[in-house]
Amino acid sequence: MFAPSAPTRLGTVGIPRAERLVNLVLCLLSTRQYLTAERIRNIVPGYADTGSEEAFYRKFERDKAELRDLGIPLETGRNSVFDGVEGYRIARRDYELADIELASDEAAAVAVASRLWESPELGAAARGALRKLRAAGVRVDDGAPAPVEPRVRAAEPAFPSLLAAVRAERTVRFDYRKPGETASFVRTVDPWGVVAWHGRWYVVGHDRDRRAARCFRLSRILGSVNTVEPGDEAAFVRPPAGVELLELVTGAEPNAVEPTSVRLWLARGRAQGVRRHAEVLGDRELAGKPGQEVVLELEHPETAAGWLAGYGPDLVVLEPETLSKAVHEAHLATLAAFGGEHDGQ
């Protein structure tokens, strides 16, 4: 247990910065009058021993910036028209979190929500919010597990600058490459929001060149996101009333379709990744190799060619012919790319 003696408690030598700042907040919260920097220098411990005028102002500016970074509403103003310089105070009603009480199931929900972010900035912000709720008297048991713990990452380099642009309603410009395209294009977008769906981040907004709402996957943005100076562009286009950002992202996805039956030959004991989805029809030898004939239901057989081609000689597509051809062509293309020789068919 600590028990500092009275003299050290009032000592002013080497007052730590954190202590000076806490005292500054307490002082400005307790005053209705605006206090000038000069008054603050005389009152708040930790400033009096600052050497020159210039050194004091430097220190005071830094302290003010730190308080504002924390979101402390530092007001400036004059007590009367005769005052020569502005002073400072903190209005209690702007500083204090409103009363809040959470039932235990509500607090449990907040605990799970505060653990959601696997991103340094958002995670720190959520923990900061939780700390303040606890300080407001809310009991939050952080250890209570959820049946499944959701986690969301935001690791894409473009994420912070896009979110900032969304909040500030600033037009952005970035280099974007659509999947499968050789060239990238510069896109100019008024961003309305960032959306996470199926673990991927998208930015949704008004595409200035296409004059329509568009969504862009963050992982396909090349290089940095730059804000466009408001001066040289038309006003920021806001989302139309009632627009659902999520729907703009999910709407771009194809709907589920009827599955197609695919018949395959698999070498014995191989291609486990295919086998676990397949039904064995019976044993069959192919070119003297033992194996089985199987059937597999695929929703998008046209996109399965790559997956099936990966199994090489452990798998042969029997049906449908389009898929069989696609896999065959994939192998021919591989040989061409790797400089192998084959007489083809």
Partner 1 sequence: MTGSSTAERLPRLLALVPYLVSRPGVAVAEVAADFGVTEQQVRRDLELLWMCGLPGYGPGDLIDLSFSGDTVTVVYDAGMRKPLRLTGQEATSLQVALRALSETPGIVDTDAVRRALTKIENAAGRAHPAGMVVDLDERPDRVPAEVEETVERAVRQRAALRIRYYTASRDAITERTVDPLRLVLLEGRRYLEAWCRRAEGMRLFRMDRVDEAEPLEEHACPPAEARTTDLSGGPFRPSPEQPRVELELGPRARWVAEYYPVDELTELPNGRTRVVLRYSDRAWVVRLVLGLGGRGRIVSPEDLAGEVRSRAEEALELARHLPST
User: Of 302-341, which residues contact partner 1 (CB under 8 A)?
Assistant: 305-313, 316, 318, 321, 324, 328-340
Using CB under 8 A, count the residues that bind partner 1: 141
Contacting residue, 37, 50, 79, 108, with partner 1 by CB under 8 A: 108
Contact call for residue 43 and partner 1 (CB under 8 A): yes
The residue range among 76-84, 206-214, 227-235, 301-309 that interacts with partner 1, by the rule CB under 8 A, is 301-309
Least distance in Å: CB of 149 to partner 1?
A: 5
Restricting to residues 144-203, name those near partner 1 by CB under 8 A: 145-153, 155, 163, 166-167, 177, 179-184, 191-200
Q: Cβ of residue 301: shortest distance to partner 1, in angstroms?
A: 15
Select from 157, 230, 251, 273 the one that contacts partner 1 (CB under 8 A). 273
CB of 324 to partner 1, least distance (A): 8
Residues 206-235 touching partner 1, rule: CB under 8 A, are: 219-220, 222
Amino acid letter for position 155: A
Name the residue nearer to partner 1 (CB basis): 55 or 222: 222
Residue closer to partner 1 (CB basis): 7 or 231: 7
> With contact defined as beta carbons under 8 Å apart, do 225 and 172 qualify?
yes
Q: Write out the binding residues for partner 1, residues 276-295 only, by CB under 8 A.
A: 276, 286-287, 289
Helix 104-114 / helix 120-135 crossing angle, nearest 10 deg: 150
What's the longest Cα–Cα distance across the chain? 104
Compare residues 81 and 108 and give the one whose CB is closer to partner 1: 108
Nearer to partner 1, 167 or 210 (CB): 167
61 binds partner 1 (CB under 8 A): no
Alpha carbon distance 31, 91 (integer Å): 9
Q: Which amino acid is at 121?
A: E
Please say whether the beta carbons of 238 and 192 come within 8 A.
Answer: yes
| Residue 76 or 219 having the CB closest to partner 1 | 219
Whether the CB-CB separation of 152 and 113 falls below 8 Å is answered with no
Q: How far from 3 is each of 16, 18, 85, CA to CA, in Å?
A: 19, 20, 42
- Residue 205, classified by CB atoms within 10 Å of its CB into exposed (0-12), middle (13-18) or buried (19+), is buried
Pick the closer one to partner 1 by CB: 29 or 237: 29
Footprint of partner 1 on 76-105 (CB under 8 A): 94-103, 105
**In angstroms, what is the minimal distance from the CB of 81 to partner 1?**
25
CB 220 within 8 A of CB 178: yes
Interface residues for partner 1 in 239-268 (CB under 8 A)?
Answer: 245-246, 250, 256
Q: Which amino acid is at 48?
A: A
CB of 217 to partner 1, least distance (A): 8
Q: Is residue 72 exposed (0-12), middle (13-18) or buried (19+ Cβ within 10 Å)?
A: middle
- Tell me: does residue 48 bind partner 1 (CB under 8 A): no
Mark 123-142 with x for binding to partner 1 (rule: CB under 8 A) and - for no binding: x-xxxxxxxxxxxxx----x
Q: How far is CA 322 from the centre of its chain?
A: 41
Question: Environment class of residue 239 by beta-carbon count within 10 Å: exposed (0-12), middle (13-18) or buried (19+)?
Answer: middle
Choose the stretch contacting partner 1; rule: CB under 8 A; options: 37-45, 53-61, 79-87, 208-216: 37-45
Does 62 participate in binding partner 1 (rule CB under 8 A)?
no
Q: Which is nearer to partner 1, 73 or 230 (CB)?
A: 73
Residues in Cβ contact with 216 at an 8 Å cutoff, skipping those fewer than 6 apart: 174, 176, 187, 189, 202, 203, 204
> Is 13 among the residues that bind partner 1 (CB under 8 A)?
no
Neighbours of 34 (CB within 10 A): 19
- What residues does 292 pair with on adjacent strands? 266, 283
Residue 174: which of 206, 216, 210 has the closest Cα?
Answer: 216
Both structure tokens of 304: 């399965």
